[in-house]
Every structure is written in structure tokens, then in C-alpha cells.
């Protein structure tokens, strides 16, 4: 269990118990959607409001403390901001996991082809995980 007080402050977010718990849930679950987060939060704060969850998620997104990952055919999940990486999504168990892939060659090709200045890359690979095969 990590203490996220300083991490929050670095992103200009006051360290309230609710925010620390959200940070903790994201650290533990890696990728989590709003519903699952709300369920977890209810165990620690029996009268927490969904509005509080949404307000904090939105602030944390604005301050880049967390990131949204849009999943094909499913709800978005959220994760603590870390170094750039891609995602794997199992279409059977819906687990999302990180994967570190070398995309530089692809990005170079994209720049060359398109006259586009690429600043962000979102790669999601869907399929079936080892467990579900």
C-alpha cells in the first residue's frame, strides 16, 4: 500500500481520503472502470457519492494524474499515468493489461506518409488471453 499524498500534490490535487482511496484502487487494480471503482469505494466510505467519484476522476484526468483508456465494445477504464505503453484486452474476461511495444518504426512510417505531427499513440489489441484460451 503506497502513500499517494505527495503524488497527488505534485499534480495539484489535495490529498483527501477519497482521493487517496481512488489512487489506491487504481494502483491495485491497474485498470478500473467507474462502476467497479464505485463498488470498491463504497466499502471504505459507506456514504460516498457517485458525484464525488466523477468529480475526482475528471480533475485527475485534467491534471494528468490518471488516463482514460477507451475499450472497444466496452466501458472506458482508468489507470495511473505512467510511461507510454499499449494495451491488451481480453474479449472473454474483459481483463485489460499493459504491454510495452516498440512503435517507433510505425510512428516514423506514419510521419513520412501523412505530414502529420504525431503526439500521442493509442494502441489497443483485442483478443483472447492465455487463461481464457
Partner DNA sequence: CTCTGTGCAAAGCGTTTGCAAACGA
Partner DNA sequence: TCGTTTGCAAACGCTTTGCACAGAG
**Residues that bind its own copies in the complex, under the rule CB under 8 A:** 68, 70-72, 86, 88, 90-91, 97, 99-103, 105-107, 109-110, 113-130, 133
Among 36, 59, 103, 129, binds DNA (CB under 7 A): 59
Give the separation between CA 31 and CA 33, rounded to whole angstroms: 7
Among 36, 40, 48, 88, binds DNA (CB under 7 A): 48
- 97 makes contact, choosing from its own copies, DNA, none, with CB < 5 to 8 Å by partner type, with its own copies
- Cβ neighbours around 7 below 10 Å, total: 17
- 63 makes contact, choosing from its own copies, DNA, none, with CB < 5 to 8 Å by partner type, with none
State residue 97 phi and psi, 5-degree precision.
-135, 160
Q: Is 14 or 116 the residue whose CB approaches its own copies more closely?
A: 116
Sign of CA dihedral 79, 83, 85, 88: negative
| Cβ at position 75, least distance to DNA in Å | 7
Give the separation between CA 102 and CA 30, rounded to whole angstroms: 21
Which one-letter DSSP state was computed for residue 74? S
Give the separation between CA 116 and CA 42, rounded to whole angstroms: 45
Q: List contacts with DNA (CB under 7 A).
A: 5, 9, 13-19, 34-35, 45, 47-52, 54-56, 58-59, 75
Amino acid at each position: 500500500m503506497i502513500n499517494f499524498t505527495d503524488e497527488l500534490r505534485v499534480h495539484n490535487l489535495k490529498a483527501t481520503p477519497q482521493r487517496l482511496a481512488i489512487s489506491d484502487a487504481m494502483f491495485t487494480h491497474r485498470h478500473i472502470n467507474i462502476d467497479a471503482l464505485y463498488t470498491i469505494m463504497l466499502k471504505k466510505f459507506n456514504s460516498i457519492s457517485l458525484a464525488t467519484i466523477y468529480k475526482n476522476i475528471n480533475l485527475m484526468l485534467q491534471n494528468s494524474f490518471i488516463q482514460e483508456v477507451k475499450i472497444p465494445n466496452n466501458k472506458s477504464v482508468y489507470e495511473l499515468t505512467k510511461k507510454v505503453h499499449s494495451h491488451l484486452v481480453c474479449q472473454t474476461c474483459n481483463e485489460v493489461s499493459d504491454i510495452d511495444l516498440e512503435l517507433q518504426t510505425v510512428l516514423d512510417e506514419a510521419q513520412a506518409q501523412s505530414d502529420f505531427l504525431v503526439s500521442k499513440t493509442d494502441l489497443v489489441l483485442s483478443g483472447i488471453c492465455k487463461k481464457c484460451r
